[in-house]
Amino acid sequence: MQQLIAELKVKLIDILNLQDVTPDTFDENAQLVGGELGIDSIDVLEMVVMVEKDYGIVINNQEVGEKVFSSLTSLAAYITEHSARASA
């Protein structure tokens, strides 16, 4: 899962245009939405699209989305869990 977290750090920094954040300074346990990163609802939509496009996983429930995007670690865990289900 560490490889996925590293990959997600790079992708999120890029799609969210986080200019002051590097993969080394991106705290994988920090709150994504409403936290220090300044991620808002538009950014969440961009993350949803990225997860669907890059990993083939649809997040279409707001309650699930809130849990998934609570931190980078929770996002990686969700992708890992649902990728495993799709492969089974």
Residue 21 above 70 pLDDT?
A: yes
Mean pLDDT, range 73-85, rounded to an integer: 90
- Which of the four pLDDT bands, split at 50, 70 and 90, describes residue 86? low
| CATH number reported for the structural domain that contains residue 66 in this entry | 1.10.1200.10
**pTM (global) more than 0.95:** no
Number of structural domains found in the chain: 1
8: number of Cβ within 10 Å: 23
In the block, residue with structure tokens 């002051």: 20
Helices within 1-88 (DSSP H only): 2-15, 41-55, 62-68, 72-87
Q: Which of 50, 10, 3, 23 is nearest to 68 (CA)?
A: 50
Whether the CB-CB separation of 76 and 53 falls below 8 Å is answered with no
Q: Each residue of 26-75: pLDDT tens digit? A: 999 999 988 888 888 899 999 999 999 999 999 988 878 889 999 999 99
Name the burial class of residue 68, with classes exposed (0-12), middle (13-18) and buried (19+) by CB atoms within 10 angstroms of its CB. buried
The residue segments making up the domain with residue 17 are 2-87
